[in-house]
A and B are shown apart, each in its own frame.
Chain A
Amino acid sequence: MNNATTFSVVQLGKYPATRPLGQEGRARLDDLLEGHTNLALTIDFTGVEVMNISFADEFLGKFLTSHDFSTTGTTVRVTGLNADNRYSILVCVERRKIAVTVLEEDGTLTLLGDPILVATFDAAKELREFKASDIGDKLHLKAPNANNRLKRLADAGALHKSQVSGSARGGKEFVYKIVDGPSSNARTLSPA
């Protein structure tokens, strides 16, 4: 069962612009994750009018690259993006060759980042809950390729990953799951 929590970025300002402020925000996010597992984290940009790319990189880009979210079962998504802030995040994830899930206004999930991962994520959305072999079949991928893509998505917090107990194939096998859009029971967690 996932704990849902939301971090509201506007607490840092409506016009966040500097790397030191991004570092401060990232430290707050890190505190929020500390000691928690299976967390569905939503980073909400509602109320942020304009942020520049340096802030976005220091706050979100470095946050996404400094964690392997799959090890703690954490999923991450951003929401409340206006067109300008979406641009800043897109530049940041493209530069870092990473991906981030966006919870859109209509409740759907999209992925910003590497087009290959975007295509994989779109296929994952159709499957909802699946194993690597399922997505391999759907996208006509060999197992190592499918595993690699899914690992990148899970590491980025776009998919929830859990190990299958008693796998028929022997060795480790994982189930991947899309964590749904709006969560009505989201709450703010205190740092552990």
Chain B
Amino acid sequence: MELNLAGAMPLAGGAFLTGQDPDQLVLDATALTFACPLDLAGIVAWAHWAASGALPVTLMMPTDQAMASYLQRMDVLRHLPSRPRIIGRVPPDTRSDQSGSLLEVTALNPSNVDDLAERLGPLVMGFYGEDSEAGAAVLRACGELIGNATEHGPSERGAFMAAQLHTGTTTDGPRLEFAVCDTGMGIMEHLRRNPKYAFYTQDKHAIARATRAGVTGVTGVPDDKRGNGLYDVIKDTRRVGEVSLRIRSGKGEVRIHGATNSQRQTLHDRPDQTAGTWAWLTHRVNTTSKTVVQSRE
């Protein structure tokens, strides 16, 4: 199998797993030019998925040395499963302190999730600076996503998260990007545990349903008031800026775009099958926001 990671943000775009050689996974990043947190966490998640099925994993490093260095800097190589085959030049691991603007690929599991929430807190709140209302809303959203990944999506392969906070000086405005890719059962299988939702047969419809209030696969305690996590992620973050949330699970993907006065959602089928659930949150601060980032500009 091969994943062709070409161009900018391939996993956020059209890249998908193709099945030409079922005996190995080749992650071909030779033509990769720009990677977002979803690419970084997704590469690692795919690699672990393959390794858990005893498939050898090969990573073809980007020919663009800056890009190769970025993969190294963001700990993609460090989080690959043991003994991957790496083709291409591996740059030296030199790094400056970027703790205020990025979170390297980090393995997430039930035993470290609370410690990682403590690490995410200062990063997100520091980025939003004086606009603590926006920072708190986005941090709550990130907390819901990592909570979901470890509570509903745990597997032996684990989950991986990464974040990048853009000042907007070289891109289109300040924004926070956060991705978490778990390798668990996926949204549809989780929802179907609840007899109320057992009828779902298409991932995209199950994902869309999961974004509504009070929808949960957790059963056993009646009137438990659960199942508001994804609903809160969107409601909370669109109050304080512009949010884009993509949720990919199984063969489906739902894209939600929300702003203060609007929200739209589109459902998509995917040609490959994501093993678990991936969430990619992008939040752009309001133009009236008083973030530290904007004041620097």
Does B31 make an interface contact (CB < 8 A)? no
Does B147 make an interface contact (CB < 8 A)? yes
Q: Hey, which chain A residues are within 8 Å of B117, CB to CB?
A: 13, 15-18
Q: Hey, which chain B residues are within 8 Å of A57, CB to CB?
A: 225-226
What is the minimal beta-carbon distance from B147 to any residue of chain A, in angstroms?
A: 4
Residue among A50, A54, A57, A88 having the largest count of chain B Cβ atoms under 10 Å: A50
Residue among B117, B139, B228 having the largest count of chain A Cβ atoms under 10 Å: B117
What is the minimal beta-carbon distance from A95 to any residue of chain B, in angstroms?
A: 5
Q: Hey, which chain B residues are within 8 Å of A21, CB to CB?
A: 114
Is A13 within 8 A of B136, CB to CB? no
Tell me the residues in window 46-92 of chain A with beta carbons closer than 8 Å to chain B beta carbons.
Answer: 49-55, 57, 61, 83-84, 87-88, 91
Within 8 Å by CB of A16, from B114, B136, B229, lies B114
Is B225 within 8 A of A96, CB to CB? yes
**Stretch from B21-29, B67-75, B95-103, B118-126 that touches the partner:** B118-126
Is A17 within 8 A of B147, CB to CB? yes
Q: Hey, which chain A residues are within 8 Å of B190, CB to CB?
A: none
Does A177 make an interface contact (CB < 8 A)? no
What is the minimal beta-carbon distance from B52 to any residue of chain A, in angstroms?
A: 24
Q: Hey, which chain A residues are within 8 Å of B120, CB to CB?
A: 15
Interface size on A, residues (CB 8 A): 25
Is B147 within 8 A of A54, CB to CB? yes
Does B151 make an interface contact (CB < 8 A)? yes
Is B136 within 8 A of A54, CB to CB? no
What is the minimal beta-carbon distance from A88 to any residue of chain B, in angstroms?
A: 7
Is A17 within 8 A of B132, CB to CB? no
* C-alpha spacing A53/B228, complex, angstroms: 9
Is B225 within 8 A of A17, CB to CB? no
What is the minimal beta-carbon distance from B78 to any residue of chain A, in angstroms?
A: 25
Does B185 make an interface contact (CB < 8 A)? no
Does B12 make an interface contact (CB < 8 A)? no
Q: How large is the interface on B (under 10, 10 to 19, 20 to 34, 35 or more residues)?
A: 20 to 34
Does A20 make an interface contact (CB < 8 A)? yes
Does B285 make an interface contact (CB < 8 A)? no
Q: Hey, which chain A residues are within 8 Å of B228, CB to CB?
A: 53-54, 95
Q: Hey, which chain B residues are within 8 Å of A13, CB to CB?
A: 114, 117-118
Within 8 Å by CB of B121, from A50, A83, A91, lies A50
Is B151 within 8 A of A19, CB to CB? yes
Is A20 within 8 A of B125, CB to CB? no
Residue among A21, A61, A84, A88 having the largest count of chain B Cβ atoms under 10 Å: A84
Tell me the residues in window 101-151 of chain B with beta carbons closer than 8 Å to chain A beta carbons.
Answer: 110, 113-114, 117-118, 120-121, 125, 132-133, 135-137, 139-144, 146-147, 150-151
Given contacts A18-B117, A49-B125, A54-B229, contact A88 B147 (CB under 8 A): no
7 closest A-B pairs by CB? A17-B143, A15-B121, A84-B136, A17-B117, A52-B140, A52-B143, A18-B147
